[in-house]
Structure 1
Amino acid sequence: MIFLDFIFEDRDIKWLAWLERPLAKLGKVDMLSVCIALVVLLVSAITFGAHAHQHGGAHADKAETVLLAGIAGLITYMIVGGLSGYFEDKLEEEEEREHEEEEEAARTGKPKSAVRLAGKAAFFMFLYLEVLDASFSFDGVIGAFAITNDIVLMALGLGIGAMYVRSLTVYLVRQGTLDDYVYLEHGAHYAIVALAVILLVTIQYEIHEIITGLVGVALIGWSFFSSVRRNRALAAAEGESKANETEAVLTS
């Protein structure tokens, strides 16, 4: 669902334009991502879940378990997304109301309750950020199952990863890196869908952790180098344009 919601949105910057452009047009259809997710879930339950392996090599019909888990995950994702959108709208309403009251206070000369307005805006911002944090936590925990089923390793990895990612995110924001390497977001979402496919396949077949890790690293690395090539091409085009302008001025 994270990948589908990303790929069905029409964006100004496209990495794999041959794929993203037609999918963005399909994204205009309401609830398309939910329908595709349910179809994939149904197919996975019928194909992988019906012939899943138990410990010891025996076969077991896990179609019901796959369907139950998938529907529960889908409901959770939609609830978190709905709450996120609700709090975001509320925050925008509070900001607009605060702006209107500021203008009215400036017109009439009456003091406004800055504490109340700031408190309400901060409250909705807090709820909005908490819901966003919950959504990323769900994503991280589910993705960890694609690497290992050891709870201790998962807890250590997610804990270290949370601290590292936070520091890395703050650094990237301050340096403006994500604005320079515009395809990194695309690469991350393609890595997410790769993990999703691997998780579905591992219902029946075992996939080595090295393969799972390398797939994500390869996609993000590919997007990084694509961003570097794009920046170099833009810089070369800009330099050529300036050279042409200088030549035209000298000629005239």
Structure 2
Amino acid sequence: MSEKAMSSRPRAERARQVADTLRRQIADAAFADGVLPDEHTLGTRLGASHNAVRDALALLRAEGLITRRQGIGTTVVMPKYGHGLDQLTGLAEALTGHGTVTNEVRTAHSVPRPPAAIAERLDLSRDTEVICIERLRRLGGIPLSLDTTYLTADIGRPLLDRDLTGRDLFALIEETTGERLGSAEVAVHAVTAGPDTAALLDIPSGAAIFAIERLTRLADGRAVDAESIHLRADRLTLRATLRREPAPR
């Protein structure tokens, strides 16, 4: 977009557009040293006015994404990592190369009578045992997500004797069953963190987070893993590569 076209828009809109661009660049690690260029340079690169850049940086600072200090400049507070939604991968697999993902296992036990919604998702009767595993997941010691997982008993019970603190569940499922996972249905919601979730994720109560509902199936189509995942939106960017099918003739 040209500077002239952008300047014809309301100031708040111009700032939002610049903030969107910078947020995307930060997520793509465009500023390798974590330091953003000065306002003049940013304005030149983005074809934006000094006021639009300044307002955009204020928006990003209010989000907690950047900080501005006298004599240092504008720096990224903490990096954001991409988590693809177009491949069935665990968090540790998705963040390979960014550090070690560790899991604090908050609970791992049998549930003789699962909640009705879980039984329905896994296509089980209410009196069928399931295994519940809840983990607080960290990267570099900083919380990333809170995962609550319900597994069919034949799939989940062998996992209770495995390394749940250092391994992804997907890899463990394939290892213990000798079968490949096949597909998953995913729904993503934008929600605010309640007091309990916020305390666990070390974010302010009411902060925006991603709430992901995922139902994972074996290659034969059987549903075996129903998850509710709360992800820190300030640390993870959800990504997908979408392909448009040919128009029907």
- Give the alignment's TM-score, normalised by structure 1: 0.19
> More strand by proportion, 1 or 2?
2
Higher relative contact order (CA closer than 8 Å, sequence separation 6+): 1
Q: Which of the pair is proportionally richer in helix?
A: 1
> Considering only CA atoms, is the larger Rg found in Structure 1 or Structure 2?
1
